[in-house]
Each structure stands twice: as structure tokens, then as C-alpha cells.
Structure 1
Amino acid sequence: MNAYAQRFEGRCAVVTGGASGVGRETAARIIAEGGQVCLWDLDATILAQVAGEIGAINYQALDVSDPEAVARAADASAAAMGRIDILVVGAGVTGATGPVWEFPIDSWRRVIDINLNGAFYCCRSVVPHMLKNDYGRIVNVSSVAGKEGNPNASAYSASKAGLLGFTKSLGKELAQTGVRVNAITPATFKSPILAQLPQSQIDYMQSKIPMGRLGELAEVASLICWLASEECSFSTAATFDISGGRTTY
């Protein structure tokens, strides 16, 4: 039997961006290992379908760049599950591609609103629920782009770099509580988000990975699930790399 078969028994998780990609993969694994999950994403129809397929207890359709909608969703998720122990912030967009001097301002704002401001709103609304029980695990999904900066992806790179700084601040603020806050920095992995990018951009990102391949969703979900578990007890305000050897720090 898998030693982690019931690792999340009694635990309740919110997964943003939970309708597809790494969010869905992570949510399904938490459920398979005994946890309850509420999915957050933009499309109610897809959410309902995915929730039924993986066995999520609840779902909330919302735009994470709307702070009031996020606050309502946090309260609704806590009511549905009885508590919130885990928050996986996976909602994100890539935005436009192009040099800074030609980059569309509306795309810049949208990327920052979802990837960085949205993470702030989610953590701001969920942390009080965790503090009620003096327990929590928050995993923010950043990117190798936040460490290195990808050319022609300035908004995405800046938003993911900001998420790393935010994670460090929040983790230190909560270090003397039972809540742990960490981030991961994946290189490019196989996910529906790649549909937002031109093939030339995908090829560039893959060329930077020493292993010579894209990451698998299951590989990323595996790291997230460790960070979301009780086993992650002495790591907080930290960044965990999963990049096939791309990053060097």
C-alpha cells in the first residue's frame, strides 16, 4: 500500500486554477489521498464537470482578481468543508508576448491582476480561516521565469517574481503560527496554459531546460502535495525549484 494513501485524511483544501492543468492534477491527488477539495476557477460549467470527475466536494466560479469575489468564495468554501487547511494558488495567465516597449498595457495589467494581486487576495481571505485552527499550508505556484526573467514575457516574469517576494513576506509573518507558506518555481511543463503561447516561445523555454524535456503535471503535483502536507513542518517562506536543472539558485 502507498505510504501516503491517506496523507490528507481530515484535511480540507482550496485549489485555485483547479479546473485544469496542475491545479486539477493536484486537487485529484489530494482527494485520492483522503482530503476534501474545493475548486476555484473562472468557468462554472467546466468546474462542475471537473468537480464531478475527481470528486471535489465544492466549487466556486470566480475571477481571482476580484477581491470581494475571493472573500465570498473563501467563506463559502470554509462553510462547505467545515475548515480550510490547504491553499494551492495555481490560477494564472501568461499574457501577451513581445518586447517591453511594444507590450500591450491592458495585458500587463491583467497578468499582474491575476498572477500577483489574485494570489494576495486569495491568501488574505484564506489565512484567517487557517488561523482559527492554528494550522495551514499555502503553496504559491510561481515560475522559473520569476527567477530568471523570460524575454518577451515581461509581465509574466514580473508577476511571478513578485509572487516569490510575497511568499517570503507572508511566510515570515506566519512563521510562529501553525501555517507554512512556500512557493514552487517550475520550468515549462505540459499544461493547457501553453495554448496561450506561440510555439516559438515554448521552444525557447524548453531549450533552456538541461533535461531537454517539459515537466509532467504529476511531477509538479507531487512537490505541491508534499508542501501541502503535515510533513512540511520546518520549511516556510521558501522557494522550491522543479525545473529539470534550469535554475541554478
Structure 2
Amino acid sequence: MPILDRFSTQAKLYAQFRIDYPAALYEWLLARVPGRHRAWDCATGNGQVAVVLARHFAQVEATDISQAQLAQAPPRPNINYQLAQAEHTPFPDQHFDLVTVGQAVHWFEPAAFNQEVQRVLQPGGVIAEWGYSLVEVNPELDPIIQTFYAETLHAYWDANRWHIDDEYARLPFPFAEVETTRFTEARRWTAAHFLNYLRTWSSVANYQRQHQQDAVLLIAEEVTRLWGEGEREVRFPVFLRLGRAR
């Protein structure tokens, strides 16, 4: 399967306008990881997960296929950022206590990635994969967002994206002691912030490449009018699955 890099062109927007993940997610996850020596954050992007893991682990390896994304990641003395494919890494066997993937596993080749995780995890080590579904705002704005997502941009999403909609149910997860859980990440954003968040979507970048136009402008006026002045709460449903090396 060819390598899909859908986030280099909007790396700076991604770092500014993508959400991070709720503290409750990390509390739930870390309670299930006995070791605190080494963690690997795969597809780290701008390093938001790696930075949190660095507070809890002696060493964090953070990999991505996008140098533009890694250039946005904040340095930490115990984080090593490097270019690497998810399915092929330079790490030793049985090396990590934890492997994490936030909002990215749907871009991988599943069998090869799962094999690599089994190789690099210590016996009983934890793999955690999570993502977040379509943003929710209110009954007026949600239908506009849904139509933009599922109809206007339908042809511009890679097929991989639809794994998010069914919470990775069709992606294999051949690990032991599987657990699943959900969280909600809430933010208060202005209309301008929200529209810039939409510009981080890979479908919007694909639309721009094909038409040399900003797809967000198709709904910007209506969204701004309905949003009004000031901030509104936006909510992201977050889903997570966890397993252990066999």
C-alpha cells in the first residue's frame, strides 16, 4: 500500500487548530500500563501525545512520515522525534511498555502495523489506538457540518477516513485483553477558530489541490452568521481501544 501523507501541507494549521485529548483519557490509559520506561507514539504529528507521555515515561520515541509535522513538535529532553513508517521501525524487539496511535491508525497497513507492534512491545505491553468522530456544536450548525463532511467533501476523503465513522470496527486488532472506552473533548471556539479547524481536514487539502480553492469558503458565511459573536462549545466524541501483546 502506498504511503499516504495527507497532513504535511497543513502542518502549521494542524498544530494550531487540532484538538488535544482529555486528561481523563491519559488517566484511564496510564492506569493500565505497569511500566514507565519506554513509550512509542506512532504517527505523532506535532507531538501532542508524545509531550504528555514524556511526563510519565523515561524515554519517548515519536515517529511520523511527515517532516513538516515533526517540525511543529515541541522539543523535550526525553523525546526522540524521527521519520519512520508505522509498519517498519528501527526499534529493537520487546522494547516498549506502551505504543500509542492518536487519530491515525486508519492510515496504516493493518497487518504489517500489528505485526510491528507485537514485535516491539514487551510481553504484556499495551497498545492503545484512539480517534475522534465528527465534531458536534448545536442543532442549527450540526446539519451544515454533516452535509459538508459527508456530501460536499465525500469525493475528497480517502477511503481510509471512513474507518473513523465506525470507530475502527473493521480494522483488525489481534491483541489480548482488549478494552474499549469513550470520552468527550470539549472546547470553546470562535467561528474563525472552527473554520480554521476545518481547514486541517485532509479532504479540504485534497479539494484545494484539485481546484485551487478553499472548500471551507463554501460554508464559511453561513457558519459565521449562525455562530454569532464570541465563542461556542464544540464537542468531539473520542473512542479508544486498548490491548496487550500476546
Query: When the two structures are superposed, what TM-score results if normalisation uses the length of structure 1?
Result: 0.48
Q: Which has the larger radius of gyration?
A: 2
Larger % of strand: which? 2
Between 1 and 2, higher relative CO (CA 8 Å, sep ≥ 6) is seen in 2
Larger % of helix: which? 1
